[in-house]
Amino acid sequence: MLLLYGRIRLHSNYANSMDIDTRKEQLDQRINSAARRAGRDPSEIRLLAVSKTRSACTIRTLASLGQKAFGENYLQEALDKIQQLADLELEWHFIGQIQRNKTAAVAANFDWVQSIDRLIIAERLSAQRPTDKKAINVCIQVRMSQETGKGGVLPEDLLPLAEAINSLPGIVMRGLMAIPENTTDPEKQKMAFREMYRLYSILKRQYDSVDTLSMGMSGDFGLAIAEGSTMIRVGTALFGPRDYIKEKVK
Ligand SMILES: *Cc1c(COP(=O)(O)O)cnc(C)c1O
């Protein structure tokens, strides 16, 4: 699948590499103005480039423009790219759902895992983190809607899970990650982000290591920044539309 994909995408990647720097520049400007509108310092907001379905070549181009943090959802696809890009000092974030039998590969290859919603996954990452590596950074994913299948812990279960995770060696609890409900109602979105910020503030008061509220994607990062996000995860607005067929197959 990956091989096939590589061949199909090669040409369009070359065509696109001309304007990815323009896209990056425009995105940086939009982040800056969203921060300023919210009365925040733009340097408080980190950009995670969500590179699922994008080729190693495209990631390399973006890395040459100064982008170092990349987010991936699919383990095998990510491992291929991490290997191909091992000569660059990139920071890899796993943001997809983790299966229990895949934690060793995640622990060995990623710097961050943002999609923790069960203690067993954190325990396995802790036990399997190679001892020659720094502790792995984790965020707890909070479920923000009734939609099933997206993962995430319910808000009422957050604090006990955080306490258990915080005591594990080999792991640093950095904060929370949220994928909001698919809604076009900005008022609803705002309330969901606000609730996330409230939970984040509680956690931050309790744990010194907590400094990350990962929320906001291509369609809603301005609002997320206004509501206190410290890390936005952007794919489409940076790389252009994703290949839908590729995502279906994965
Ligand atoms: C794909 C994805 C994103 C990026 O979505 P865009 O709308 O393309 O910016 C962010 N977070 C997660 C968890 C994702 O799976």
pLDDT digits (tens, 9 = 90+) for 212-244: 999 999 999 999 999 999 999 999 999 998 875
| Residue with CA at minimum distance from ligand 1 atom 13 | 95
**Domain regions of the chain by residue span:** 2-246
Instruction: Give the count of beta carbons closer than 10 Å to the beta carbon of residue 137.
Output: 19
Beta strands in the chain (DSSP E): 46-50, 69-72, 91-94, 112-116, 136-143, 171-179, 212-214, 231-234
Which atom, in ligand 1's list, is nearest to the CA of 239?
Answer: 8
Among candidate residues 43, 63, 7, 104, the one with its CA nearest the CA of residue 239: 63
Lowest mean per-residue pLDDT among 5-14, 82-91, 93-102, 229-238: 5-14
- Kindly indicate whether the domain formed by 2-246 is annotated with CATH number 3.30.930.10: no
Write out pLDDT tens, residues 43-68.
999 999 999 999 999 999 999 999 99
* 246 pLDDT higher than 90: no
CB distance 216 to ligand 1 below 6 Å: no
236 Cβ below 6 A of ligand 1:
yes
What does pTM read for this prediction? 0.90
User: Whose C-alpha lies nearest to ligand 1, atom 6?
Assistant: 235
pLDDT confidence of residue 5: 46
Angle, CA of 166, 207 and 154, to the nearest 5°: 65
Spatial distance between the Cα atoms of 240 and 27, rounded to a whole number of angstroms: 12
Residue 233: alpha-carbon gap to chain centroid: 5
Pocket test residue of 48, 94, 115, 233 for ligand 1, highest count of atoms within 8 A of CB? 233
Q: Which helix (H) or strand (E) element contains residue 224?
A: helix 221-226
